Structure 1
Amino acid sequence: GLDHVIASHENVNIVVFDTEVYSNTGGQASKATPTGAVAKFAASGKVVKKKDLAQIAMSYGYVYVAQVAMGANANQCLKAFQEAAAYDGPSLVICYAPCINHGIKMPFNQAEQKKAVAAGYWNLFRYNPALIAEGKNPFSLDSKAPSADYVEFIEGETRYSALKRSFPGKAEKLFAIAAENSIEKYNKLAKLVDFYSPEK
């Protein structure tokens, strides 16, 4: 349904609060659940990659897309919402939203977002097609290369630590794959800065 809306080219603003599970029905695994996470219907850890909603939306070329985490960079988050509202066309802002299914209590939500970005678990970026007509780069990678340990970060959340307790061997393998995927994803995003550069 979301894909149909953004493909319509209508001037709509969409906000997605990404909890990485079906939170409204009790925390079931979804296509947004990352590798190695435990959720309902994925009790032994999800084995495939998380769906990349941002890349899907960006592939249209005319959709404003931003990925934000207010606890990691409030200014980037505000800028994304302002740009999305001003953009004449479909806009999609994807917000990282730790929740109770992650084992994160509300008072620690913002701090968890900051940790997620530092570990490369969640990347901050903006894609604004309106900048192309101005001869500017439409893609901005707003988070730095990971500076914290990815596996150490995920092991701090119950959806991952539960897998380590129940299936330690499988957890080690899936966590290593997830860590590699995070590096690969950041490197792809970094290449997009050059790819979209008007000087290329």
Structure 2
Amino acid sequence: MSTKQTTKQNYETISGNEATARTAYMLTEAAPIYPITPSSDMAEYCDQWSNKGKTNLLGTVPAVIEMQSEAGAAGTLHGLLLGGTLGTTFTASQGLLLMIPNLYKIVGELLPAVVHVAARTVATHALSIFGDHSDVYA
């Protein structure tokens, strides 16, 4: 006869930004960041964990480097990738537009990178920082 064992599952409700940050942090060696709404939380979580010395799945504490612009974050990511570092960054659709020159370099050189992009209204005549899906549908 077999006996069925049951285990109690613990569940936690977290935001999409935190879920993304947890995954990214565990699989990266470095993350150049520039806070931009609504993706700022992702970068801030990673920055907090790095400052606390939390190790990831690679057994290292990822370097989190805050830059002065989205272009700076993308340029730093490009440099890290050229050096063989597993890198990631976080942005919103508006910031992604400012990263395009560096993204062309990264793609053209066949460098592996992950860019986590949060949906946000793309600026028109009336600037908005609120999340919507107009950028995804465009």
Pair in the same fold by TM > 0.5: no
